[in-house]
Amino acid sequence: MTESAIVSAAITEWTASGEPTPSLMDRLASVAVEALRRAKLRPRDVDAVIATTTALPFDNPSFITISAQHFAHRLASKIGSHGMKCINVCGACASTAIAFATADAMIKSGYIKTALVVGADNSPRGFYYQAPSVLDADLATGYPHKVVGITNPSYWAMWARRRAYEMGKPVEDIKELMALVKVIHSEYGARNPYARYRKVFTVEEVLKSPVVCDPLHLYMISATSSGAGAIVVADMERAKKLTDKPVKIAASAIGGPLSNEPAPRLVHFATAGGGRAVRPFTEWRRVIEEAYKQAGITAEDIDIMEVHDTNCFNTINWIDQAMGWEREETDKLIRKGEIRHNGRLPVNLSGGTASFGEAVQCQALMMIHELFLQLRGEAGERQATKKLRVGLCTAYGAYGSYGAIIVEKAW
């Protein structure tokens, strides 16, 4: 099987969402062209464009399609296309990881040699409503919001409380831990020119922010943002000709919903029946285990992580799942500050979604971009001080959508 690598990456600054900013297609095109320029490639050199669709709201219920579903095709036309293959991917907040894994698989199988993975989003603001279409009413996922008033943070809050309970700790314990995660992430957002939020928080400030649904306070939950990014992926032979620092894609795993997942999943009324897995978040762990297998490594080989923190509990949970150790170890790691740039296991040196807000369907581009910079030693003030070889990126989305990508220095 052919090896693959990241040749170049570019993202825009993440900005406020929900405002009609310059056209998303313009932003997408400029960042795509920037990534090509950095790779010294022209559109003719690109075999496939793989774009994520967006979480843009519908303007009018009578529209039978939205242009965002055809980003890849529209982008190809806009930047110049010689008939490149166009694929549009949708997998909730994990969309980019799935687009990336699709590109990787197409290269590794030998079908194509070079791919442009792109995404742009201008996400709706506030709580996300899962309202069914007037033409399609799915009882299982279309109505929890209407019937129960359950929001995405409500699920996360229940997970966080349950974790404290299972560890025999008061809920205040995880609340304080989540506040500390926010503080540490904010220290790196402050050093990242692409981050939307540059303020460094204190634990006290986070705990003084309004309670959204306990134990989650407002500052522990990611805002929604607008942003765009592009990554050029090529087979290793070509990548080595294009850059002296290719970042090898050691693994790119896509995860889906598991019927025996014990933790209630966004945005369902209920877990599935039948035999249940013993531990919650089995579907999170499974995608990482698959990535470890693909890469031929174990958790101990991971030097740095970018994990999808739609809220601060998710940072904690991703560390739990990626390390596969007793949850107490995750708490110690965070409390000792070992997830900072000079720590044992740096996590989210980009500043995380905590500092970016979430441009929902292209968020993993920001994370992969950060690992690309970190492994190449180009992260400036955020650069991890330890020697880096292997990085893990995890993506998390509703409906059981996951991705895990492992990148490795190839020089």
Partner 1 sequence: MSKEKRKVPIVDGLFTWPSDEPRLIGSRCPVCGSVQFPKSNVCNNPDCDHSKEPEQILLSPEGTLYSYTIHRYDLRPPFDYHKAPYAIGAVELPEGIIVVGRLTTTDEEKLKIGMKVRLKVGELYSDGENAYLTYFFEPVEEVRK
Binding site for partner 1 (CB under 8 A): 126-127, 129, 131, 139-140, 143-151, 154-155, 157-159, 161-162, 165, 210-216, 259, 262, 264, 268-274, 276
- H/E run at residue 180: helix 171-189
Structure tokens at 45: 């050199």
Q: Which residue has the tokens 């519908």?
A: 58
- H/E run at residue 117: strand 114-122
| Count of C-beta atoms within a 10 Å radius of residue 158 | 17
Closer CB to partner 1, 159 or 281, in the complex: 159
Closer CB to partner 1, 108 or 217, in the complex: 217
Bridge partners for 393 per DSSP: 306, 405
Closer CB to partner 1, 38 or 162, in the complex: 162
Q: Nearest distance from residue 29's CB to partner 1, in Å?
A: 33
Q: Nearest distance from residue 138's CB to partner 1, in Å?
A: 10
Closer CB to partner 1, 2 or 260, in the complex: 260
What is 55-100 written as a DSSP string? Answer: -PPPS-TT-S--GGGGHHHHHHHHH--SS-EEEEE-BTBTHHHHHH
Closer CB to partner 1, 158 or 200, in the complex: 158
Closer CB to partner 1, 100 or 128, in the complex: 128
Distance CA 84, CA 47 (A): 5
Q: Nearest distance from residue 387's CB to partner 1, in Å?
A: 41
Instruction: Return the SS3 of 347.
Output: strand
Q: Nearest distance from residue 220's CB to partner 1, in Å?
A: 13
Bridge partners for 233 per DSSP: 6, 115
Distance CA 116, CA 407 (A): 17
Closer CB to partner 1, 188 or 284, in the complex: 284
Of 403, 386, 147, the residue nearest 286 (C-alpha): 403
Phi, psi of 371 (to 5 degrees): -65, -40
Q: Nearest distance from residue 252's CB to partner 1, in Å?
A: 23
Q: Nearest distance from residue 360's CB to partner 1, in Å?
A: 18
Q: Nearest distance from residue 165's CB to partner 1, in Å?
A: 5
Q: Nearest distance from residue 210's CB to partner 1, in Å?
A: 7
Q: Nearest distance from residue 149's CB to partner 1, in Å?
A: 3
Instruction: Please enumerate in sequence order all residues whose Cβ is within 8 A of that of 58, keeping only pairs 6 or more positions apart, or say none.
Output: 66
Instruction: Please enumerate in sequence order all residues whose Cβ is within 8 A of that of 234, keeping only pairs 6 or more positions apart, or say none.
Output: 4, 5, 7, 39, 107, 113, 114, 115, 242
Closer CB to partner 1, 240 or 276, in the complex: 276
Q: Nearest distance from residue 284's CB to partner 1, in Å?
A: 17
Distance CA 402, CA 94 (A): 6
Is the CB of residue 216 less than 8 Å from the CB of residue 197? no
Of 312, 313, 316, 324, the residue nearest 287 (C-alpha): 324
Closer CB to partner 1, 268 or 369, in the complex: 268
- H/E run at residue 9: strand 4-11
Residues, the chain, total?
A: 411
Closer CB to partner 1, 154 or 321, in the complex: 154
